[in-house]
């Protein structure tokens, strides 16, 4: 049994970590922080957790206390892990960061997209990008893992087999993506109000979103060369879910694309390649750590369309964080992550 802590336990990804870890046989959550709710019992704030965490209460973040644990998750806004990670690593605690603090390798690029200087550039060399389907071996020995963003997870997993095989033009990729409103976090925002977000849909960040450099960095690693990507996110009236429609143009005779995807993801516990002709639904992955993918080639043309769906709070954040923890501590990768989605 390992002891873990969560910094930022009142947000959507923090409470999702609690829900998932309640089913984990090897993990005990012994510390959870919130500055605004310090002293409040977790099960009083989140009654769905009654019977699981009845004695655990929120407390102020305390680096000394957190540094006594085996691992700490950061489920906090950008910049918070910069300030605390080094102190925890020095005490021997492994850090799994759900924010974007250590996702980009270039501190200047991070500063440009996140509007503040990078607070811990000395740690960038050792941070491992926590996409298990690409970096499984490095994750196993990592002290510091940067959990990928929600859109970047769905987009990279969708393009991965095509780019690895060198089948498509990496200079002409288009990712048309939709997110549920929990992607915007739990903090009050006008755009997340029921009357604003329901029965409507809108694009945002069309001329530049902070996930663009992260996706580009990941796809460039896969492709081993420059990538040009158009990425347009949309806010949709659902609570959870990411739906990515990914376009690319063939430059090689593709062979059987279905077989390519099935072979690439054979044995991957958290990626499901659907049968030919499928259209995966976000609700089929709700609450699960699964990325469900379908590949299409409309009218046998040179265009490939990949459909990739995840739950933004699970494979797009907290579930992927637990998948990383499992790898870092030598547990079966899917431990605590195998429950199917609730339907309907």
Ligand X SMILES: CC(=O)N[C@@H](CCC(=O)OP(=O)(O)O)C(=O)O
Ligand Y SMILES: NC(=O)C1=CN([C@@H]2O[C@H](COP(=O)(O)OP(=O)(O)OC[C@H]3O[C@@H](n4cnc5c(N)ncnc54)[C@H](OP(=O)(O)O)[C@@H]3O)[C@@H](O)[C@H]2O)C=CC1
Tokens representing 103 are 């996702």
Length of the chain equals 344
Q: How far is the CB of 185 from ligand X (least distance, A)?
A: 6
Q: How far is the CB of 243 from ligand X (least distance, A)?
A: 12
Is the CB of residue 120 less than 8 Å from the CB of residue 254? no
Q: Choose the contact partner of 187 out of ligand Y, ligand X, none; CB within 5 to 8 A by kind.
A: ligand Y
- Looking at residue 315, the DSSP 8-state letter turns out to be I
Tokens representing 157 are 């997993």
Q: How far is the CB of 317 from ligand Y (least distance, A)?
A: 4
Residues pairing with 163 in the sheet: none
- State the binding string over 75-114 for ligand X (x if CB under 6 A, else -): ------------------------xx--------------
* Shorter beta-carbon distance to ligand Y: residue 217 or 223: 217
Sign for the pseudo-dihedral over CA of 182, 184, 187, 189: negative
* Shorter beta-carbon distance to ligand Y: residue 66 or 293: 66
Q: Choose the contact partner of 308 out of ligand X, ligand Y, none; CB within 5 to 8 A by kind.
A: none
Q: How far is the CB of 179 from ligand X (least distance, A)?
A: 4
Tokens representing 158 are 């969708």
Q: Choose the contact partner of 235 out of ligand X, ligand Y, none; CB within 5 to 8 A by kind.
A: ligand X
- Looking at residue 274, the DSSP 8-state letter turns out to be P
Tokens representing 218 are 């990941």
Residues that bind ligand Y in the complex, under the rule CB under 6 A: 7-14, 34-37, 61, 75-78, 80, 98-99, 149-150, 182-183, 185-187, 312-313, 316-317
Q: Is 305 buried (19+), middle (13-18) or exposed (0-12) by CB count in 10 A?
A: middle
Question: How far is it, in rounded angstroms, from Cα 67 to Cα 85?
Answer: 10
Q: How far is the CB of 185 from ligand Y (least distance, A)?
A: 3
Residues pairing with 246 in the sheet: 175, 306
Q: Choose the contact partner of 233 out of ligand X, ligand Y, none; CB within 5 to 8 A by kind.
A: ligand X
Residues serving a catalytic function are 150
Number of H-type helices and E-type strands within the chain: 11, 14
* Shorter beta-carbon distance to ligand Y: residue 39 or 330: 39
Q: How far is the CB of 233 from ligand X (least distance, A)?
A: 5
Q: Is 242 in the site for ligand X (CB under 6 A)?
A: no
135-194 positions binding ligand X, by CB under 6 A: 149-150, 179, 183-184
Closest residue by Cα to residue 52 from 31, 23, 14: 23
* Candidate list 14, 61, 233, 287; residue touching ligand X; CB under 6 A: 233
Q: Between β-strands 173-179 and 242-249, what pairing exists: parallel, antiparallel or unpaired?
A: antiparallel
Q: Between β-strands 202-203 and 271-273, what pairing exists: parallel, antiparallel or unpaired?
A: unpaired
Q: Is 235 in the site for ligand X (CB under 6 A)?
A: yes
* Shorter beta-carbon distance to ligand X: residue 100 or 170: 100
Tokens representing 160 are 């991965």
Question: How far is it, in rounded angstroms, from Cα 75 to Cα 271?
Answer: 24
> Which positions lie near ligand X, rule CB under 6 A?
99-100, 149-150, 179, 183-184, 211, 233, 235
């Amino acid at each position: 049994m390992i002891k873990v802590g969560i910094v930022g336990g009142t947000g959507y990804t923090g409470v999702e970590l609690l829900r998932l870890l309640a089913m984990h046989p090897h993990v005990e959550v012994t510390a959870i922080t919130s500055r605004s709710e310090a002293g409040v019992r977790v099960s009083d704030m989140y009654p769905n957790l009654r019977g699981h965490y009845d004695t655990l209460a929120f407390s102020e973040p305390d680096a000394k206390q957190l540094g006594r644990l085996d691992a700490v998750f950061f489920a906090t806004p950008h910049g918070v892990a910069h300030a605390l990670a080094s102190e925890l690593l020095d005490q021997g605690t492994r850090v799994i960061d759900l924010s974007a603090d250590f996702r980009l390798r270039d501190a200047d690029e991070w500063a440009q997209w996140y509007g503040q200087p990078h607070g811990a550039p000395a740690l960038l060399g050792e941070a491992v990008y926590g996409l298990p389907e690409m970096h499984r071996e490095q994750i196993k020995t990592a002290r510091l893992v940067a959990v990928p963003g929600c859109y970047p997870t769905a987009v990279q997993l969708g393009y991965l087999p095509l780019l690895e095989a060198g089948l498509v033009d990496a200079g002409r990729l288009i990712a048309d993506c939709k997110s549920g409103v929990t992607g915007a976090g739990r903090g009050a925002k006008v755009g997340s109000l029921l009357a604003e977000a329901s029965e409507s849909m809108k694009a945002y960040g069309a001329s530049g979103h902070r996930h663009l450099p992260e996706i580009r960095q990941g796809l460039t690693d896969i492709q081993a060369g420059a990538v040009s990507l158009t990425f347009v996110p949309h806010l949709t009236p659902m609570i959870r879910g990411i739906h990515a429609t990914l376009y690319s143009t063939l430059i090689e005779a593709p062979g059987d694309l279905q077989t390519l995807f099935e072979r690439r993801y054979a044995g991957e516990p958290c990626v499901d390649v659907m049968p030919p002709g499928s259209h995966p639904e976000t609700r089929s992955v709700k609450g699960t750590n699964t990325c469900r993918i379908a590949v299409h080639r409309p009218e046998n043309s040179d265009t490939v369309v990949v459909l990739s769906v995840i739950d933004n709070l699970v494979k797009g954040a907290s579930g992927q964080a637990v998948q990383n923890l499992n790898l870092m501590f030598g547990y079966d990768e899917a431990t605590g992550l195998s429950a199917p989605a609730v339907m309907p």
